[in-house]
Structure 1
């Protein structure tokens, strides 16, 4: 039906605001323009029967046109259903093959021969050998080994517990609904009805025992119990160290795990051994166990023990030192991070990875919060000596992002009163102009004539915009303007409302724009850019190492051909963006990249960088803009695209 290239094209066309050029689509898929033309043709053939088509816009590219919403939606549903249940699934990209092999080996009862695996997915033996290196690295993260035995083949060895964690990550493609955790590639054999039953048991028990669990945590538990049931039938068991066991049995979560297991045993007629119950209790420990009747003060006393509180304060101090976000005293954030970290520590201790389905969106929409999340992750590592991955960093970033938004609300728009000489006409003119120009920054609370001003209560007003001179002293500042607001008037008001906020274009400098370069790798780009910035005296000596350190924690490639590399902590005396665009995309971690934006923030900066982050966010989200920026040959063309 749809191969992975066609899916990529369809996904891009569905989210694009304007037409996408063939060249852009070719770069995203890393194929030639000719292949892309053929792909678009095939895609169009399929779409025509399903309520849509790909329209070719002269000189601009391709655009998706949907004629029949209902039948197009049906078509999309069928793609995803087919993907999940297609027995003839053949992985195409290296990443798909690696995922396939992990699932295949995890489920294998004995040894698997290399040649058989290669034949199964229609690739050469050398390709499989190369893929297996990646498989090995991924499995090593779960402390699972790939054992190779002459004349026998390959098999996985590792504790049952670790294999189980790995399975839950790779066996089920988890979307938003419990009904979607069905097999991919026909590899899993847990019936949907069994999954539904297990979910019902979990939901009933956590409700009866007043446990608050996030959807993600429930999904994880559901999958783990399903795998446990499957493995017990096959005669496999989890083993846990006795000391760990005792620690878990003493927790109240263990009692709830027992109840869940008893119900599962009655339903499926299997017996769960004690370590299995402890194992399910680990899952409940890895979630927020709070009685819903408590008020927040009690919750804090109950939940945030001294160690966790100290850790949260360390994190917030570290973030404040580098980012000056003004959120270190936010009570809601302290509680939120504390409640998140307490169970997380249990998860790290037992090596449980939780996949974060929102990760991509968090990185794109809250880049500043994600950077702060990385610092939080480092603080956790220093405090506890355990490494955390970017899924967890994403969750920390969500808490921080919410606090940043609260901070913005607190400072809020400035309340303004419009004063005019006479007649409502001019007042209304000023009123509407302010509304349209400063919708976020100013809340116009009313208009009044000059002679009525003394009767007005100015306690609720931050400043006055007046079209006539006001001689007397007032308790609030007055900005004097013309009745018809001109550029200078707007500039006056802007200075008053948002002092110190720079224009976005101040961050782009002509001599820091390197367009249409031919580099073959991420390493070449980083070294070239570092040399340029160093020669101009813009960055310190340790800049490149700090950029590499940041990349190791979480790659800065966001998809949509964009990467935004930057040092883990500020290493420059000014704030600026340095841009490099490439003739052909390179592979950056696991994504094609053609637009590289070096983000350098001034050390100990107190400036408001929100406008810069907003602009970067808009570029990252917008395929057509990226393709125009990549095609720009001069500074003027580049700026023209941004201004449009």
Structure 2
């Protein structure tokens, strides 16, 4: 295995190496049992025979020419299989683009927004890819009348769109009947009577958890009732009130199904969460809707404005003449905030931020930005700061990769921070992943541009407070 893994001639991926190692293990077991091959060696690849000869040397076991040929053919077969898998993957990507276009054209022709249904695209893609490898299709005559009766003009719209995307008569009329079944399923919108309730946990209850909350709402429309919490505030929640707990940090065993995930919720983790939801026996009943008040709470609005005015006045973008050690950078940040009267001990703050980074990466993949956040007894007042580094440093990302970082966004809150302060800090971290433009501005924007982003979060919170009334 080690020999193949490092062999420049093969450049196999790990899965292929495992398969070929297993095949050669079976070959060795056969030889040990006294069964030897005899075969005609005409027309064999000299390159692969050379690899077989080198493997013979690496293992220190002499093979006959017939065994070397078997060895070479096995490597050649697996490489051909790997190349075929790569070709299949490329074909899938091309077909996915075409299916997306097909759904777009059907939406325009039929007058219904099928593009909003992700399940339709996945199902249709799988069906078309499968049909390309099938010589005969099942009879659709019994289905066709029902489709045409219940969904008039749908098949005509699909056929017209198929001619545009794939070319005239590329797919038969019988095939488009099956496509119509997928589109018809999208037209039948089931009424969701229940929603999943999720508790999202990170070390401080802001920053990472808010990013995860936003990603969950994007990927799981059925999971709109999502609450975020700090690790130390977990005991304040009745865990039985939730269907599932998702955490960005390790948790002890709990009574509720729990899953540790990346704050950015990668594609693989979306599948893990979905499998977990599907394994749940049922969701809790939809929460009761609170009646809206008819009067304004001027005290609450005044507290909002006072908090936002103070945090806006405190905000700053600071440039650090930094070393290449994260410990030194965080110490400089702690010292700066201590001089501003925002923390009691810069040393304690820097140690807490460093521990938070060691629990899980804080860099935002694909950017030069890292989100440092936390709650600590040494923090006097909640605040938002940005620090630019004169020299970028390699930092662990939230997806566990390592990339250079040149800006640190720091969100801090005291242990006894008010709900308004925590909500604002969570709103800031959540707005990071709202759009590509936001990500770019947070990563490279000027102080003025960053303040505008903070003001957007403030305005949204004020509008939400007014809407609740």
Which bracket does the TM-score occupy, shorter chain normalised?
0.3 to 0.5
TM-score (normalizing by structure 2): 0.37
